[in-house]
Chain A
Amino acid sequence: MRRITKFIILDILKNKIILVYLLILAVLSWSVFSLEDNSTKGLLTLLNVILLTVPLISVIFSTIYIYNSSEFIELLLSQPVQRKKIWRSLFLGLSFSLVFAFLIGAGIPILIFASNSVGWMMLVIGCMITVVFTAIAFLSSILTRDKAKGIGIAIMLWLFFALLFDGLVLFLLFQFADYPIENAMVGITALNPIDLSRILVLLHLDVSAMMGYTGAIFKDFFGSSFGIIAAFSLLLLWIVIPFQISLRRFRKKDL
């Protein structure tokens, strides 16, 4: 499995896209931090940029890469290699390369300009969200044989989590404004990995006061060590569940 992962990582690094991604992240982070004199404000801007671009790149690049590896997968399948090992190596290789690009591109400036607990939180969140969307890419690419359809599903899922979900939540908030739904809101955020990450970082920034009463509830829940552990376990579930579903389907797939 290590050998296959190695081949995949080398292949991805040879593909210049990941380096371009790294450069873009670096340019974004360096410019954000040098524009803002206050590192907290810088982190806040960077958080929004990262939560938009990192999932998008992770999900699209991974989906396309998986479809393009169909020949590689076919070649390996006629060799004495276990099916699940092929799929896992692909996942490891993709996650590793994308996390590597994130850590070098955005991680270095974050640690230079804001090496406090919020900075570290951003780093961990960035890595987790990368892997979450890689796992989602695995799910969307196993759902259909059609490459265009698979990439379409991936983009739709990104659109849903990054933009539509917030709209839906806002809509619900207004509709049920007369009812005490604050606790339910905590539950609903668990359904979106991007929101979950945003709240985790925002709470560390101490700007949760601006989020009103719901913010206070969030603070009460996610601010405690139990809340943080719960949030991280939820993010882990967002990695494990999509990937395990895709693995199960891959084991029964005809090639």
Chain B
Amino acid sequence: MIQVNNISKNFGKLQVLNKVNLTCNKGECIAMIGPNGCGKTTLIKSILGMVIPSAGEILYDGKNIAKGFEYRKHIGYMPQIGRYPDNMKIGQIIDMIKEIRNADSLLDEDLLHEFKLKDLFNKQMRTLSGGTTQKVSATLAFLFDPQVLILDEPTAGLDPLASEILKEKIISEKKKGKLILITSHLLSELDELISQIIFMQEGHMKFHKTIEDLKLTTGEEKISKAIATILKNNNA
């Protein structure tokens, strides 16, 4: 579905992505992990067309994304730090995106109800706490029932209740056969969600494996432990 071919990106002298290759297909739930500043967010933003790669190409359903924008119809994106126009209200933001998308498909308002955002519709974005902003971001990402969900640190800043709601939602979307890309630092949270793992370091993709494969090669039961084992072996 999404194919990343040899993309590189540098901001000035800083090489953020270095010849990254990646193929993602329907029904997969992929976790991207790696230390801070390893290029996860840049890779995600490249897929969304917000960052233009210095070299390489990205294909969505076989079509180069540099030549179109329609493919973003099929992507729901939840940013790490959602930035919204300060003086708009939650309700206005949601209505505006609805109008701009002009979506005729049925809207998925599950999260809107479960996060009880309707009660906050008249609150201005600048008065919101980080967690509530994240709730708005999550709602917008799932609202149009997209084929691909890209979630950048989805549970950071959410309270345990909200993050449980979001996890349930991700699992139910995964069952519908959608492609889900998650970045996270909380490895323990990912256990029940993901089917594949990508490990990035300093702009390189270190490995891309299925969970079974990972557990098999390391002999560990938990993902976090498996990763730790690999890191130790790498450093040794």
Give the segment of A20-28, A78-86, A182-190, A220-228 that binds chain B: A78-86
Residue A206 is within 8 A (CB to CB) of chain B in the complex:
no
Residue B62 is within 8 A (CB to CB) of chain A in the complex:
no
Residue A203 is within 8 A (CB to CB) of chain B in the complex:
no
CB distance from B1 to the nearest CB of A (A): 16
Residue B91 is within 8 A (CB to CB) of chain A in the complex:
no
Find B100's partner among A3, A70, A74, A255 (CB 8 Å cutoff).
Answer: A3
CB distance from B95 to the nearest CB of A (A): 10
Query: Could you tell me if A3 and B99 are in contact, using CB atoms closer than 8 angstroms?
Result: yes
Interface size on B, as a range, is 20 to 34
Within 8 A of A (CB), among B131-183: none
Find B83's partner among A75, A80, A82, A254 (CB 8 Å cutoff).
Answer: A75
Within 8 A of B (CB), among A123-163: none
CB distance from B41 to the nearest CB of A (A): 11
Query: Could you tell me if B69 and A83 are in contact, using CB atoms closer than 8 angstroms?
Result: yes
Residue B22 is within 8 A (CB to CB) of chain A in the complex:
no
What residues of A have a CB within 8 angstroms of the CB of B30 in the complex?
Answer: none
- Those 3 A-B pairs whose CB atoms lie nearest each other, nearest first: A80-B72, A71-B83, A80-B73
What residues of A have a CB within 8 angstroms of the CB of B50 in the complex?
Answer: 74, 77-78, 254-255
Residue A72 is within 8 A (CB to CB) of chain B in the complex:
yes
Residues of A that sit less than 8 Å from B by CB: 3-4, 7, 11, 14-15, 69-72, 74-83, 252-255
Closest chain A residue, CB of each to CB of B77: A78
Residue B186 is within 8 A (CB to CB) of chain A in the complex:
no
Query: Could you tell me if A79 and B101 are in contact, using CB atoms closer than 8 angstroms?
Result: yes
A-B contact pairs, 15 of them (CB 8 A): A7-B96, A14-B87, A69-B85, A75-B85, A75-B93, A77-B48, A78-B50, A78-B75, A78-B79, A80-B70, A80-B72, A252-B52, A254-B50, A255-B45, A255-B51
Closest chain B residue, CB of each to CB of A251: B52
Q: How far is the CA of A80 from the CA of B77 in the complex (A)?
A: 11
CB distance from B51 to the nearest CB of A (A): 4
Residues of B that sit less than 8 Å from A by CB: 11, 45, 48-52, 69-73, 75, 77, 79, 83-88, 93, 96-97, 99-102
CB distance from B74 to the nearest CB of A (A): 8
The SS class assigned to the A binding surface is helix
- Given A75-B83, A254-B51, A254-B52; A80-B96 close (CB under 8 Å): no
Query: Could you tell me if B85 and A11 are in contact, using CB atoms closer than 8 angstroms?
Result: yes
What residues of B have a CB within 8 angstroms of the CB of A15 in the complex?
Answer: 87
Query: Could you tell me if A71 and B69 are in contact, using CB atoms closer than 8 angstroms?
Result: no
Query: Could you tell me if B100 and A79 are in contact, using CB atoms closer than 8 angstroms?
Result: yes
Query: Could you tell me if B11 and A79 are in contact, using CB atoms closer than 8 angstroms?
Result: no
Q: How far is the CA of A170 from the CA of B56 in the complex (A)?
A: 54
User: In this complex, which of B48, B52, B77, B85 has the most chain A Cβ atoms within 10 angstroms of its Cβ?
Assistant: B85
- Given A3-B100, A255-B50; A80-B84 close (CB under 8 Å): no
Find A80's partner among B45, B85, B99, B101 (CB 8 Å cutoff).
Answer: B101
User: In this complex, which of A3, A79, A82 has the most chain B Cβ atoms within 10 angstroms of its Cβ?
Assistant: A79
Q: How far is the CA of A255 from the CA of B77 in the complex (A)?
A: 14
CB distance from B57 to the nearest CB of A (A): 15
Q: How far is the CA of A252 from the CA of B84 in the complex (A)?
A: 22
CB distance from B17 to the nearest CB of A (A): 12
CB distance from B92 to the nearest CB of A (A): 9
CB distance from A64 to the nearest CB of B (A): 13
- Given A71-B84, A72-B85, A255-B50; A78-B72 close (CB under 8 Å): yes
User: In this complex, which of A76, A252, A254 has the most chain B Cβ atoms within 10 angstroms of its Cβ?
Assistant: A254
**Supplied contacts A77-B48, A254-B51, 11 more A-B pairs, CB within 8 Å:** A3-B100, A4-B100, A75-B84, A75-B97, A76-B100, A78-B79, A80-B69, A80-B73, A81-B100, A82-B69, A252-B52
Query: Could you tell me if B86 and A71 are in contact, using CB atoms closer than 8 angstroms?
Result: yes
Closest chain A residue, CB of each to CB of B99: A3
CB distance from A94 to the nearest CB of B (A): 15
Q: How far is the CA of A74 from the CA of B81 in the complex (A)?
A: 11
What residues of A have a CB within 8 angstroms of the CB of B88 in the complex?
Answer: 11
User: In this complex, which of A14, A69, A76, A80 has the most chain B Cβ atoms within 10 angstroms of its Cβ?
Assistant: A80
CB distance from A17 to the nearest CB of B (A): 13
Q: How far is the CA of A4 from the CA of B96 in the complex (A)?
A: 9
CB distance from A92 to the nearest CB of B (A): 15
Query: Could you tell me if A254 and B100 are in contact, using CB atoms closer than 8 angstroms?
Result: no
What residues of A have a CB within 8 angstroms of the CB of B100 in the complex?
Answer: 3-4, 7, 76, 79, 81
